[in-house]
Structure 1
Amino acid sequence: MKLASLKQGRDGQLLVVSRDLSRAVKAWDVAPTLQAALDNWAETEPALQRLYRQLNDGHCANSLAFNAEDCASPLPRAYQWADGSAYVNHVELVRKARGADMPASFWTEPLMYQGMSDGFIGPRDDILLADESWGIDFEGEIAIITDDVPMGTTAAQAEPHIKLLMLVNDVSLRNLIPGELGKGFGFFQSKPASAFSPVAITPDELGDAWQDCKVHHRLRVHLNDALFGEPDAGTDMTFNFAELLAHVSFNRALCAGSIIGSGTVSNLDRSTGSCCLAERRMLEMLADGQASTPFMKFGDRVRIEMLNTEGESLFGAIDQRVMRYTAKKEA
């Protein structure tokens, strides 16, 4: 099943979207928003699945053309957004480039930070930032959305709580990160609003590509229409989504609609390219002693998408430009 949120109010209007992303139907009679559907998933999911089958069979008289431009992120805001770093080879590379050793615990326990979740960017909306000198970067990731998760849920118990998956552009301001981490209190200003794919999908939509709580497809990232990277998301993922979920729920319960991210998708095989500028720059530093790839400038465009084996888009594309933010003057 594929779900989206039409831009409307703070929380959007729930849409059921056809498998080929061509048609949609408003699901107001089942649930007004995706959050409302997740709050009562046991009751709403069967009704939404019926709508989905009818839509794919061409039996929805009130369907409309699906346009990702009209969509907010599937959850326009969420109660919780926790982002991990499940591709530890990426973390090791980051630290190696700045001459720092990596603690052995990084291979046995996930890294995680809690990001802002009170307002996400739409998948086709501009990334508005005030200063290019902040080191503007994209990060191509995958995320899950959960139902209610009890405290102490183990990795073995976690998979049934994974209800939906999305793609992520976790925007990072690289030049602000060192100062913040140097304070020993984590990210804040260096992590502005993230964006998610137009569509969230249930794991069964992936077929055999959903194995071991990992997505075994390539994540394709284009920068200014040039392919930047297409690593396989199922390869070199040290911690799967069940393990990430268990880490988050170690000593807290999660409410329905909680989002957990994978961190930047990365392969040890560097020929697959990268899903963020920082990784490319680190490889250049290790090879040449300096980075030659610049961070994003105003007007630059990033596109993040995942295709199935037939070349069809699974989630729709995140497609955004970085543009200058100008504060509105008060009357």
Structure 2
Amino acid sequence: MKLATIRTDGGHAAVRVDGDAAVEVGARDVRELLSEPNWRERAANASGRTHRLSTVDYAPVVPEPGKIFCVGLNYRNHILEMGRELPEYPTLFAKFADALIGSRDDIELPAVSDAIDWEAELAVIIGTTVRDAGLDQARAAIAGYSVLNDVTARDYQFRTKEWLQGKTFEATTPLGPVLVTPDELPADAEMTCEVDGEPVQKAGIGNLVFGPAELVSYISKIITLRPGDVIATGTPGGVGHARKPPRYLTDGSVLTTRITGIGELVNTARGRK
């Protein structure tokens, strides 16, 4: 099953994606839907207002997550290209909801940075409240997966040893277009990223150092995870900052982030006006 949050005249609506149609399921957004214990049955059986998928305006699949955890250094090739050692534990940082945009929205280039980089990522979306989870419980707590690009201001990121300030600039992080439940996501799904049509990143989502269930288990020992919380699982090699010379997004750059079995984000970088 595929779920999305779309923008409507009245605000937002959670929808089930069926082929070329988006069917409203009676919740304001995907987070509200996931907060209901029977969300799977409700979404599967809904028969609300129907929209042509080609005309919908996607909001972030979870517009206002309670928490957004991000994982750094979680693909072997990216760890090596950044000159670091393989981690013993997940490298965690946070992002805030104001950073999120929809799958076709413009990326707002910060006026204070000229080092805006791309990071294609698989996003995990939590569907059940979970705390101190073992791997089986953690796996069962995953509602589904989505596509995220952790667009990063590298100059701000490396001003200090803490990364958050470079990771959560407002209106920079596309998330969507849909949530795909685990039963529909191929284990060998491939993630790619393109800048102006040029491939820059490519990896199988199974090549993570710490997989989704391990991350949910680890984070749940720190804090309770709740429906709609998001975990961005890390990026593979190919980021612009590691290139010689470095390459960054500029006004008009088109960033395409795709995971087979989920969908794609197509976002144009725009300078603030």
C-alpha contact 1:180 1:187 (8 A) present in aligned 2: no
Residue type matched to 1:79 in 2? G
Structure 1 residue aligned with 2:17: 17
Cα gap change, 1:150/1:306 in structure 2, threshold over 3 Å: closer, same or farther? Answer: closer
What is the deviation of 1:306? 2.0
Which residue in 2 is equivalent to 1:162? 142
Higher percent of residues as helix: 1
Q: Distance in 2 between matches of 1:132 and 1:150?
A: 39
Q: Distance in 1 between matches of 2:77 and 2:202?
A: 16
Which residue is 1:152 aligned to? 132
Map residues 289-328 of structure 1 onto 2, 5 A cutoff.
Answer: 291-307=244-260, 314-326=261-273
Question: Residues 36 and 46 (structure 1 numbering): CA distance in 2 closer, same or farther, change over 3 Å?
Answer: same
Structure 2: runs of 5+ lacking an equivalent: none
Mapped pair 1:187 → 2:140: no
Could you say if the C-alpha distance between residues 256 and 156 of structure 1 is closer, same or farther in structure 2, counting changes exceeding 3 Å?
same
Amino acid at match of 2:272: Y
Amino acid at match of 2:204: D
Distance 1:2 1:303 in 2: 20
Distance 1:83 1:61, change over 3 A: closer
CA 190–81 in structure 1, closer or farther in 2 if over 3 Å, else same: closer
Gaps of 5+ in 1: 52-59, 211-215, 267-273, 282-290, 308-313, 327-331
1:166 shift after superposition:
0.2
SS of aligned partner of 1:179? coil
TM-score by length of 2: 0.90
The 8 Å contact of residues 146 and 164 in structure 1, kept in 2 or not, is answered as: yes
Cα distance in 2 for residues equivalent to 1:302 and 1:223: 5
Deviations 1:107-144 (A, max 9, x none): x2111111112451111111112337430111100011
Aligned to 1:39: 35
Judging changes above 3 Å, is the alpha-carbon distance between structure 1 residues 11 and 179 closer, same or farther for their aligned structure 2 residues? farther
> What is the DSSP-based 3-state SS (H/G/I as helix, E as strand, rest coil) of the residue aligned with 1:230?
strand
CA contact (8 A) 1:79 1:258 kept: yes
Identical-pair percentage: 22
Aligned to 2:24: 26
1:299 offset after TM fit, Å? Answer: 0.7
Distance 2:109 2:23 in 1: 34
State the aligned residue count. Answer: 270
Larger radius of gyration: 1
Distance 1:2 1:187 in 2: 31
2:46 is the counterpart of 1:93: no
Aligned with 1:241 (options 189, 212, 219): 212
SS of the residue corresponding to residue 263 of structure 2 reads: coil
| 1:75 to 1:11, Cα distance in 2 relative to 1, 3 A | farther
Matching residue's letter, 1:292: P
Task: Tell me, yes or no, if the aligned pair for 1:11 and 1:76 is still in contact at 8 Å.
Answer: no
Q: Given the superposition, is the C-alpha separation of residues 251 and 225 from structure 1 closer, same or farther in structure 2, using an over 3 Å criterion? A: closer
Of 239, 253, 278, the match for 2:241? 278
Aligned counterpart in structure 2 of residue 49 of structure 1, from 14, 35, 44: 44
Compared CA separation, residues 45 and 32, structure 1 to 2 (3 A)? same
Counterpart Cα distance in 2 of 1:171 and 1:114:
13
Q: Is the 8 A contact 1:219 1:265 kept in 2?
A: no
Q: TM-score, normalised by structure 1?
A: 0.75
Helix, strand or coil at the partner of 1:134? coil
Per the alignment, do residues 259 and 9 of structure 1 end up closer, same or farther by CA in structure 2, a change over 3 Å counting?
Answer: farther
Residue 223 of structure 2 corresponds to residue 252 of structure 1: yes
The aligned counterpart of 1:57 is none
Provide the aligned C-alpha RMSD in A: 2.3
